[in-house]
Amino acid sequence: MNYLVDTSALVRILRRQVDAHWDDMVERGLVAVCEPVLVEALTIADAKRYDEVEREIRATYPWVPVPDDVWEVVRAVRTDLAAHSQHHGLSVADHLVVATAIRLKLVVLHEDADFETVSRIVPQLRQERLGQ
């Protein structure tokens, strides 16, 4: 596995709004998911299909646990962002995705410019925009 998918990318993949390359990467097990992304993605699921959508996501994507020390990494990242006046864009879930990716040395797959901003300030974060 190389990538940790963010909600912005996961939703586009689930809606089949991506290049076939990404479908192949998902099928090969190279795109993982973590709890904060699953929680965010399920907020848009139809209540009648909620359990089914969760099962589909868990069956399709390798599972990555959020590291035990995630809040230490979150603290370091938010401090670095604030020092550059760039601390406004990330949600708590985004912070958890960033910290998990940094700690586990994964590339955040996204469709959200905030991750590009973070990677300019926090060089440990590797990221790739879905459309590229």
User: What pLDDT score does 88 carry?
Assistant: 81
User: What pLDDT score does 89 carry?
Assistant: 81
Q: Is the pLDDT of residue 1 over 70?
A: no
Q: Provide the b/e sequence for 86-119 (b: ≥16 CB within 10 Å).
A: bbeebeebbbbbbbbbbbeebbbbbbbebbebbb
Closest CA to 108 of 79, 75, 68, 77: 77
Categorize the per-residue pLDDT at 132 as very low, low, confident or very high, splitting at 50, 70 and 90: low
Reported as a single tens digit per residue, the pLDDT across 60-69 is 999 999 999 9
- 38 Rama sector, left if φ>0, alpha if ψ -120 to 50, beta otherwise: alpha
Q: Which domains does the chain have, with CATH numbers?
A: 3-129 (3.40.50.1010)
